[in-house]
Homo-oligomer: A and B are copies of this chain.
Amino acid sequence: MRLSLNTATVRKQWNLAQMIDGCVRHGIEGISPWRDQIASIGLKKAKQLIREAGLTVTGVCRGGFFTAKDWKSDNLRAIEEAHELAAPALILVVGGMPQDSKDLAGTRQKIRDSISEILPEARKAGVPLAIEPLHPMQVARAAVNTLEQALDMCDALGEGTGVAVDVYHVWWDPKLESQIARAGARVLGYHICDWLPATRDLFNDRGMMGDGVIDLPKIRAYVEAAGYAGFQEVEIFSELDWWNRDPDEVLRTCVERHNRCC
């Protein structure tokens, strides 16, 4: 499986143009850009640079946050951008409970209804929507927290929906293997990094592949058995470590670990 760079991995050091150059320099063939980075150089320019660099877009991050005020217009724009970049999916980080709410079930219903509302536009644009279950500790960012829950939503929503499998969020799940098998062709993205046993932060302390306790080859085998033939997308949020390093060192390490540990 080829390697793709989720641009969150070097978000503190580089802009999108530099990230694209970095991918080329390190032989990384795919890229999954974040929308704020696209916006900062402009969609047209982003598209042009990615094409000139010969990179495959493996996703656009992110739509979602369905409990935010302007969720609908924002998601319609995200679909448009993903379409322009020929992304195989728009990744949805679905959002959590609104301030002062304790209504988790209601939030989940709102998420499902909202996806249903934008789905016709996504289908028209040919942009599959990838629901990404986030780790239960990140329920503030996303109230979809297991693959089973995400796939139940996909079952209800129908064509044009699928899941993004990020090892960081799902590696602990006792039903991981069975739910990836259930997902089948609905696996729209596969994100890698590692879980550090001494995690210091709930959001931004992901480890580099090989530095933690996730059995990456095993999960890779699960997604391959499900028929996934896309890229492995490295996505590392790391306030205390990788975001402070020379980005060329980061990419060099990603490539090396991708070859050795994944």
A interface residues, Cβ below 8 angstroms from B: 97, 101-104, 108, 135-137, 139-140, 145-146, 148-149, 152, 171-175, 195, 197, 199, 202, 213-215
Which of A97, A108, A137, A214 is most buried by chain B, counting CB atoms within 10 A of its CB?
A137
Given A174-B108, A174-B148, A215 and B136 contact (CB-CB distance below 8 Å) = no
Per assembly, the copies of the chain total: 2
Shortest beta-carbon distance, A67 to chain B, in Å? 13
Contact B104 A215 (CB under 8 A): yes
- List the 7 shortest-distance A-B pairs measured between CB atoms, nearest first: A137-B137, A102-B215, A136-B172, A149-B174, A139-B172, A136-B136, A102-B213
Shortest beta-carbon distance, A207 to chain B, in Å? 12
Give 13 CB contacts A-B under 8 Å: A101-B213, A102-B215, A103-B215, A104-B172, A104-B215, A108-B174, A135-B136, A136-B172, A136-B173, A137-B202, A145-B172, A145-B173, A146-B174
A173 proximity list for chain B (CB < 8 A): 136, 145
Given A104-B172, A172-B145, A174-B149, A213 and B97 contact (CB-CB distance below 8 Å) = yes
Bound form: Cα–Cα A230–B103 in Å: 26
Shortest beta-carbon distance, A41 to chain B, in Å? 33
Given A108-B174, A148-B174, A140 and B197 contact (CB-CB distance below 8 Å) = yes
